[in-house]
Each structure stands twice: as C-alpha cells, then as structure tokens.
Amino acid sequence: MIEKIAGLYNYWIVIFLMMTGFYIVISRDNLIKKILGLNIFQTSVFLLYISIGKVRGGTAPILVEGVSTYSNPLPSVLILTAIVVGVATTSLALALVVRIKEAYGTIEDVEIYAEEDAQ
Amino acid sequence: MGIYSLLSASWMLLLDAPDVAFTEAAVGAGVSTVLILVTLFLTSPVDKDSGRKRLLPLLVVVITGAALAYGTLDMPEVGDPNAPNVIYVAPRYLEQSPSEIGIPNVVTSVLASYRGYDTLGETAVILTAGIGVILLLARTRRKDGPVARDPPRSENRLSLLRVVTGVLLPYILLLALYVQFHGDYGPGGGFQAGVIFAAAFILYSLVFGYPSARRVVPSGSLRFLMALGLLLYIGVGVWALLEGGEFLNYSALDPHHPSHGQHLGIFLIELGVGITVAATITAIFFSFARRTQP
C-alpha cells in the first residue's frame, strides 16, 4: 500500500499545485492575484499530462538507433502548444485588467462590484 | 514566478519531455513574468486584500483536494509501461512515423503532421489573443491614469547591462534560429523558437528602452508578420489540396517521394508557426510597454 501511494507521487504534487491555484482564485479579491492563481492551476495540468506520459526506462521520443522504449510523445505535443496559447490568453486577461484599472480605478473585485451597484 | 517555471521545466525534462521543458523555460521564466510585472506597474502594486472570507475557500479546497486524491488511487503509477495512455495510440506514432514522416523527433511529426489541424487552430488562437491585446491597449491613455514613474537612472549602472545584452543578443537569436530549423531532429520547433525570438526583443526593449526597440521593430511590420505566419500555414494546406491530397496532407506536395513532401510541409508550417508566435508575443509586449510611456 505504501509503495502504491509512493508511486503516485506525481498526482500528489499536481493536486497540491492545483488546489493552491484554486484557493488563490476563490479567496483573493485582487484580479492580478486571481490570474496568477489560474496560472498555477494551469501549470499543474501541464505537469499532470507530462508525468502521465512518462514510461519507466524510456527516453525522450526522439528516435535513435538502439533504443526501443520511448515516453509517450502525445502529451508533449498537447502541452507545448498549450503553454504558448496559455501565455497569449494570460496576456489578454492582463490587458483586460489594465483597462479595468483605467475604467474603475481599482483592481479589487469587491470595489468594482461596489462601484457597479452605486451607478 | 520565474523560479517556479524553471523548476517545473526541470521536472518536465526529467520526465522525458525536452520539447515541453524548452517551451516552459522560455515562456514561464521569461515572457509571462515580464508581462505580470508590467501589469503590476500599470495598475497598482499594493494589494488591498482584507483578511475576511478565508475559511470557506480553504474548506472547499481541502474537500476538493481530498476527493481528487481519493480518485488517484485508481490511477496507474508514474512510468507504468502498461498505462492506458501509453499502450493506446502512442505505439502507432512511434512505429509508423519513421516510414510515414521520416523525421526522428516524433513530437514534431505528431505536432506538425498527424495533428496539423490542431496546431493550426492553436496558432489561430494565439493570433486572435494577440489581436485582442492590441485592440484593448490601443486606445490612448486617459489623462488621469497612472503616471509613468520613470526613475532617474544612472547611465553607468545600465551601461554594464547594455554591454552584456549586446553580447548575448546575437547568441539568443542564433539559438532561436537553431531551435526553429533543427526541430525535426532534436527538441525544438516553431513554438519554442518563436518564444525565444520574442524573448530576445523583450530583453532588448527592457535594457535599451521602449523607443529604441520600436525603431528596430516597427509595429506595421509586426502586424504584417503576425498574419503572414498563419497565412503560410493555411497556404501549405491549400497547396496540398491543389496537389490532389487532403488539406494539410504534406505527402501530396511531392507525389513521387511522400516523405520529401512531409519534410517540406513540416518545415514550412513550423516556419509559419515560428513567425506568428514571435511576432504576436513581441506585439503583445510592445502593447503593454507603450502604456508605460508618458
């Protein structure tokens, strides 16, 4: 049982990171902190995919003579594009935050709601 | 944040995913950290968070985490050679790609050829996000917005940084070109090279100032390149159609030697991806950087 749980260590790390990001998103008012939390959450998903693709005794999926065991190439493909898409969408969110700051003078969501209600 | 990204990149490398580690190191440790810092500068570095509503989120997180942890007990161990994801579709790629595509890096063949539609869509998403950022930040700043605080910097303090950057830049650009064109054989490809290119321009802009970076890369040419990359990608797909194959079936590009066609197709679409990614990330950074100018 202990060995079984130790062999699942990647999931524990992923769940810890995922929940850290989730906690930041739901407990903070500051919009930039929420985006940082989403980023941590996103990284945990990346690590989940990559760690699932690992094969014991395997090597990186670049074919060479004399090697027969390779790790799964598919998670690498999915995640390396997702990382670049992720930075593009994150920057879109940050641009929205910059505009929100200009429109409302604050980036705390409680204050934004208060201002909305006042109008 | 940069350190966090570097650590995850190292772990990815240990997990046999050098292509991904490359991307994460360039994006996380470089680009996104800089973007977050610029946004903090443009908004407010002070966090006015009050201490309330901590308990309920903590409870939600602990319960969700426990449920997830319970779910993992049925999951295969790390590195299990009989895990479902490893025995299902991956062997097909690993066994057939040498004869069908003919390049050693399986990640590149899956990315550019087998899953070419997916990659096309992702490149389009990056372009769209870039257009969104440019549109959102294009309007001129309101007069009562935050005034850019430009601290009087001593030229002496920066001059060492400038010399080092001047020495490093050619090597960064050379590395980007290598990563771009060697992606068939080693880890690399358009996405990684594009981000490294963009990181070089961002570094230049940070050290030499936004106005001089603007002179090196005018915004008109950046927008042209953003679209050109995606058009090149789609153009290769249409070319394959005209040659009688399916959209993005590169084997049709050279009917006598399908693997030559695959080489050519992958080369061209990786180039398209590299151009779009480099131009878009640079344009995004410049959109933010322009706002810091008085």
Cα distance from N-terminal residue to C-terminal residue, chain A: 60
Chain B interface, best mutation among A42, A63, A77, A96, by max B CB count within 10 A: A77
SS3 category, B155: helix
Q: B54 and A77 in contact by Cβ < 8 A?
A: no
Please answer yes or no on whether B105 and A39 come within 8 Å at the CB atom: no
Q: How far apart are CA B68 and CA B72, in angstroms?
A: 6
Query: Which residues of B are less than 8 Å from A16 in CB distance?
Result: 65
Instruction: Decide if A8 and B277 are in contact by the 8 Å CB cutoff.
Output: no
Phi, psi of B285 (to 5 degrees): -60, -40
Report how far apart, in Å, the C-alpha atoms of A16 and of each of A39, A48, A79, B9, B68 are.
14, 11, 20, 17, 10
Q: Which of B102, B114, B285 is nearest to B194 (CA)?
A: B285
Following CA atoms B72, B78, B79, B80 in sequence, which dihedral angle do they give, to the nearest 10 degrees? -30
Written as one string, the DSSP assignment of B37-77 is HHHHHHS-S-----S-S-HHHHHHHHHHHHHHHHHHTTSPP
- Coil/strand/helix, residue A119: coil
Q: Which residues of B touch A86 (CB under 8 A)?
A: 27
Each residue of B28-53: b (16+ CB within 10 Å) or e?
Answer: bbbbbbbbbebbbbbbbeeeeeeeee
Distance from CA of A12 to the nearest CA of B (A): 7
Interface pTM (ipTM) of the complex? 0.87
User: For chain B, which residues score pLDDT lower than 50?
Assistant: 143, 145, 147-149, 152, 154
| pLDDT for position B142 | 52
Residues of B in Cβ contact (< 8 Å) with A27: 53-54, 57-58
Closest to A63 in 3D by CA, of B182, B264, B97, B115: B97
Domains of chain A by start residue, with CATH: 2-55+70-118 (1.10.287.3510)
Which of the given ranges, A1-5, A61-65, B6-10, B126-130, has the highest pLDDT on average?
A: B126-130
**Which residues make Cβ contacts (< 8 Å) with residue B72, sequence separation at least 6?**
A8, A11, A12, A15
* Ramachandran angles phi, psi of A56, nearest 5°: -60, 135
Q: Among partner residues A35, A60, A72, which is closest to B86 by beta-carbon distance?
A: A72
Identify all chain B residues contacting A75, using CB atoms and an 8 Å cutoff: 17, 20, 85
Determine, for residues A58 and B18 on separate chains, whether the beta-carbon distance falls below 8 Å.
no
Say how far apart CA B163 and CA B142 lie, in whole Å.
Answer: 36
Name the nearest CA neighbour of B137 among B287, B280, B294: B287
Cα gap B41→B147, rounded to integer Å: 10
Give the residue, B258 or A98, on which the prediction is more confident: A98
**Contact check, Cβ <8 Å, A101/B43:** yes
Task: Provide the pLDDT for residue B155.
Answer: 53
Query: Phi and psi of A59, rounded to 5°?
Result: -130, 180
Mean pLDDT of A53-57: 81
Instruction: For residue A112, name the pLDDT band (cuts at 50, 70, 90).
Output: confident
Number of Cα atoms under 13 Å in the Cβ half of residue B260 = 5
Identity of the amino acid at A4: K
Decide if A98 and B64 are in contact by the 8 Å CB cutoff: no
A109 touches chain B (CB under 8 A): no
How far is the CA of A12 from the CAs of A2, A9, A41, B84, B195, in angstroms? 14, 5, 14, 20, 30
With a CB cutoff of 8 Å and minimum separation 6, the contacts of B93 are: A73, A74, B106, B109, B110, B114
Q: Phi/psi of residue A55, each to 5°?
A: -115, 130
pLDDT digits (tens, 9 = 90+) for B54-64: 788 899 999 99
Residues 74-103 of A with CB under 8 A from B: 74-77, 79-92, 94-99, 101-102
